[in-house]
């Protein structure tokens, strides 16, 4: 049917209208698309470029080089050695178990190694590199590198690992490093990002822990390009971190090595201090342990052996061990009596071998007695009854005050682990801890360093240095950090009257140099080396009546862990003191027989900066000493400035 002109006009108008609407919509859509493309290309181009790059570029932290630790002469105590390791990145690896299975065919990895690596991988964010194995040989690393296409996410790396070239010599002082633990992270308010790197190592004990912030340094970073399977294609740029600061100690590594060798076979401690400055020249606890075992991950059998050793190699006896000081405490009681005006140089006290006090008999170590004793002879021959009498006159309060004045009962601020404060017992302490009143017998026991009194070898060395100088000497272990020497405040005077100290020093001098002195057998015959000292013996267990009836009457008859501790303190040279020394031999028996000979050898080694000269020993002893020194020399460690064993 033919349409009318009006219908054709209406139809054309409708079509035109629809075309205009559709055209407008198309133009609008095209305009929006053009605008969006322009916005993306111009205004948001940097953002989208970054998003694109993140698909192929990773940022990795570079662990900083840990600072070195040296002795006072520049000998290396703690350094870093090259370490080949393999790391894995979970997001690049894909199937982690498959990668581990392939890796085990190339590198010897135990089930424990794989379990630890898998645990670390799952605990950390996907992009964080996790160490799978370290301390690998070059051949193992080369095999992994050659098979890289089949090991997505695996990267061989060369890093640094802590190494202690002096092994057990400095183990208790320097400590060791180990992997960061959850406990370590929880202790920090704002953890350093580098601590998040799996198996990153930080100081655990000793100087390594105390100076962690100085030694660690700050991390660097690098940008690397990886392909679709996670293989590193190239390094785009690198920003090196800041190495940790070096730390220099006051210790003399050679003297420390001599002391450690001299203590071989003993459970003992020795402290050598510069009497003028307080610098610790040697602070040795025996036996030691190899800190490198902890850096590498100590095995269960090795750790159990250390824990079960009756000589307790993991304990630092120099600052953690607390012992009754025995007769080395008698200088404190003597000074307390002089300070109180209760005695003088001329007064004599009769020693019949015992003293009866409050219905109890207190014995002197010499059962037959010493006869009439003045202060000097009482120190020289270690007469107990003389000091019982002084204790009754002055009381515990004055003894306690003098003990603290001489540096006992104080926890010193040293960068070592678990430094103990010892114990200066008071009336209040006993009432609070024991719920008992202080008794006169407690004062009598304290006067000879028994009863409740406890000291550390470090404190005994401080006491000896103060007696030698009349100054409040404080111990110092760190000499410099980052090349800048630390300030050492001048020690204040103790304000002890010179004539009192002259009596004390004379008594100590006669102890080692008078024929009736308890340390006379350990005397030094060369005038320039002669030392003044005091022996001590602290009772661990008394021999019971049943044991006496069974024939056990001597310390040597008791099991080792029930014998008395042996102690010795000394300063030298006698006329111009340069060093102070303390020695404690656990269960060594008597101070004169076990501790004093060690003290003499250490004094001579310190004053001679090497092996003791044979001429310093009494002629009748020289054959025996020569043999002993020959055996000791075989245990010494020849060192260069890098701390490398040159033997």
Q: What is the pLDDT of residues 542-569, one digit of tens each?
A: 655 565 656 665 667 778 788 899 999 9
Tell me: pLDDT of 480 over 70. Answer: yes
pLDDT on residue 647 = 38
DSSP 423: B
Residue 329 has pLDDT above 80, yes or no: yes
Question: How many whole angstroms separate alpha carbon 19 and alpha carbon 22?
Answer: 5
22: pLDDT confidence band, cut at 50, 70 and 90? Answer: confident
Burial (CB count <10 Å: 0-12, 13-18, 19+), residue 555 = buried
Count of C-beta atoms within a 10 Å radius of residue 347: 15
Q: What is the pLDDT of residue 46?
A: 60
pLDDT at position 122: 81
Q: Residue 141 has what pLDDT?
A: 80
The percent of residues in the chain predicted with pLDDT above 90, rounded, is 61
User: What's residue 643's pLDDT?
Assistant: 55
pLDDT tens per residue, range 229-257? 555 566 667 777 788 999 999 999 999 99
Residue 410 confidence (pLDDT): 96
Give percent of the chain with pLDDT exceeding 70.
86
Q: Taking Cα atoms as reference points, which of 335, 367, 379, 338 lies closest to residue 511?
A: 379
Residue 317 pLDDT exceeds 80: yes
Q: Which of 87-101, 263-277, 632-646 ranks highest by mean pLDDT?
A: 263-277
Residue 7 pLDDT: 63
pLDDT the model gives residue 130: 80
Does residue 14 surpass a pLDDT of 80? Answer: no
**Annotation marks residue 327 as catalytic:** yes
pLDDT above 70 for 49: no
pLDDT, position 195:
78
* Residue 477: band (very low, low, confident or very high) from pLDDT cuts 50, 70, 90: very high
Query: Phi and psi (nearest 5°) for 228?
Result: -65, -25
- At residue 86 the predicted structure's pLDDT band, cuts being 50, 70 and 90, is confident
Q: What is the pLDDT of residue 501?
A: 97
The pLDDT of residue 6:
63
Res 198: pLDDT: 64
Q: Distance between CA 208 and CA 78 in Å, rounded?
A: 9
At 15 the pLDDT is 67
State the DSSP H helix or E strand holding residue 151, giving kind and residue range, or none if neither. none
List, for residues 440-468, the tens digit of each pLDDT value.
999 999 999 999 999 999 999 999 999 99
Arithmetic mean of pLDDT over the chain: 87
Residue 165 has pLDDT above 60, yes or no: yes
What are the respective helix, strand and coil percentages of the chain, to the nearest 5? 45, 20, 35
pLDDT for res 40: 61
Measured distance CA(356)–CA(513) in Å, rounded: 32
The residue from 327, 377, 417, 447 that is catalytic is 327
What is the DSSP code (8-state) at residue 471?
B
Q: Please say if the pLDDT value at position 506 is more than 70.
A: yes
Q: Give yes or no for a contact between 341 and 357, defined as CB atoms under 8 angstroms apart.
A: no
412: pLDDT strictly greater than 60: yes
Q: Which two tokens stand for residue 342?
A: 């209760």
Report yes or no: 585 and 576 within 8 Å, Cβ to Cβ. Answer: no
- State the pLDDT at residue 646: 42
Q: Please tell me the predicted confidence (pLDDT) of residue 9.
A: 67
Cβ contact 642:76 at 8 Å: yes
Rounded Cα distance between 390 and 402, Å, is 13
pTM, to two decimals = 0.84
> Which pLDDT belongs to residue 73?
94
Residue matched to tokens 């020695």: 583
Say whether pLDDT at 375 is over 70.
yes
pLDDT tier for residue 274 given thresholds of 50, 70 and 90: very high
**Comparison of pLDDT for 2 and 529, the residue scoring more:** 529
Domains of the chain: 58-249 (3.90.1310.10), 253-290+312-543+557-633 (3.40.710.10)
Q: Specify the pLDDT at position 34.
A: 73
Mean pLDDT along residues 123-146 = 78
Residue 56 has a pLDDT of 63
How many Cα atoms occupy the beta-carbon half-sphere of 569 within 13 Å? 33
Q: Which of 39-53, 90-104, 420-434 has the lowest mean pLDDT?
A: 39-53
Is residue 8 scored above 70 in pLDDT? no
Answer for the pair 504, 376: CB distance below 8 angstroms, yes or no.
Answer: no
């Amino acid at each position: 049917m033919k349409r009318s002109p009006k219908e054709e006009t209406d139809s054309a108008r409708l079509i035109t209208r629809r075309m205009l609407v559709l055209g407008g919509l198309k133009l609008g859509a095209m305009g929006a698309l053009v605008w969006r493309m322009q916005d993306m290309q111009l205004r948001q181009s940097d953002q989208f470029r970054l998003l694109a790059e993140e698909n192929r570029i990773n940022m990795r932290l570079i662990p900083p080089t840990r600072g070195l630790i040296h002795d006072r002469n520049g000998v290396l105590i703690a350094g870093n050695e090259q370490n080949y390791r393999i790391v894995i990145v979970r997001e690049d690896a894909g199937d982690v178990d498959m990668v581990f299975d392939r890796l085990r065919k190339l590198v010897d990895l135990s089930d424990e190694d794989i379990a630890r690596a898998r645990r670390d991988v799952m605990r950390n964010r996907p992009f964080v590199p996790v160490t799978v194995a370290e301390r690998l040989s070059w051949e193992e690393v080369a095999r992994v590198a050659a098979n890289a296409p089949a090991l997505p996410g695996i990267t061989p790396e060369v890093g640094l690992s802590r190494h202690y070239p002096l092994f057990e010599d400095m183990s208790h002082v320097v400590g060791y490093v180990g992997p960061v633990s959850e406990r370590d992270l929880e202790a920090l308010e704002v953890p350093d990002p580098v601590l998040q790197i799996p198996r990153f190592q930080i100081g655990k004990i000793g100087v390594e822990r105390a100076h962690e912030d100085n030694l660690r340094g700050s991390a660097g970073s690098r940008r690397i390009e990886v392909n679709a399977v996670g293989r590193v294609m190239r390094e785009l740029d690198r920003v090196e971190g800041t190495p940790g600061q070096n730390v220099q100690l006051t210790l003399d590594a050679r003297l420390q090595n001599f002391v450690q060798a001299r203590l071989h076979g003993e459970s003992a401690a020795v402290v050598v201090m510069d009497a003028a400055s307080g610098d610790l020249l040697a602070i040795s606890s025996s036996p030691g342990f190899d800190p490198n075992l902890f850096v590498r991950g100590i095995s269960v059998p090795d750790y159990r052996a250390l824990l079960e050793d009756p000589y307790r190699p993991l304990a630092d006896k120099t600052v953690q061990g607390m012992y009754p000081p025995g007769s080395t405490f008698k200088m404190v009681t003597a000074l307390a009596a002089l300070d109180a005006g209760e005695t003088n140089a001329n007064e004599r006290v009769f020693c019949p071998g015992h003293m009866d006090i409050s219905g109890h008999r207190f014995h002197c170590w010499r059962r037959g007695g010493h006869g009439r004793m003045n202060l000097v002879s009482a120190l020289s021959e270690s007469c107990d009854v003389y000091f019982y009498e002084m204790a009754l006159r002055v009381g515990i309060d004055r003894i306690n005050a003098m003990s603290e004045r001489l540096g006992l009962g104080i926890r010193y601020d040293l960068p070592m682990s678990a430094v103990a404060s010892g114990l200066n017992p008071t009336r209040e302490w006993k009432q609070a801890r024991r719920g008992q009143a202080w008794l006169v017998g407690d004062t009598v026991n304290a006067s000879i360093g028994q009863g409740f009194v406890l000291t550390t070898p470090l404190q005994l060395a401080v006491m000896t240095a103060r007696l030698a100088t009349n100054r409040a000497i404080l111990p110092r272990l760190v000499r410099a950090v980052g090349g800048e020497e630390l300030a050492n405040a001048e020690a204040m005077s103790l304000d002890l009257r010179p004539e009192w100290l002259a009596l004390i020093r004379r008594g100590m001098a006669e102890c080692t140099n008078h024929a009736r002195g308890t340390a006379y057998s350990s005397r030094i015959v060369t005038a320039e080396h002669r030392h003044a000292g005091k022996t001590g013996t602290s009772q661990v267990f008394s021999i019971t009546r049943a044991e006496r009836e069974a024939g056990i009457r001597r310390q040597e008859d008791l099991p080792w862990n029930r014998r008395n501790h042996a102690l010795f303190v000394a300063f030298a040279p006698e006329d111009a003191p340069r060093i102070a020394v303390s020695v404690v031999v656990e269960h060594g028996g008597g101070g004169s027989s076990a501790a004093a000979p060690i003290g003499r050898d250490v004094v001579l080694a310190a004053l001679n900066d090497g092996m003791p000269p044979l001429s310093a020993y009494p002629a009748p002893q020289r054959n025996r000493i020569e043999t002993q020194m020959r055996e000791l020399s075989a245990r010494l460690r020849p060192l260069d400035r890098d701390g490398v064993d040159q033997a």
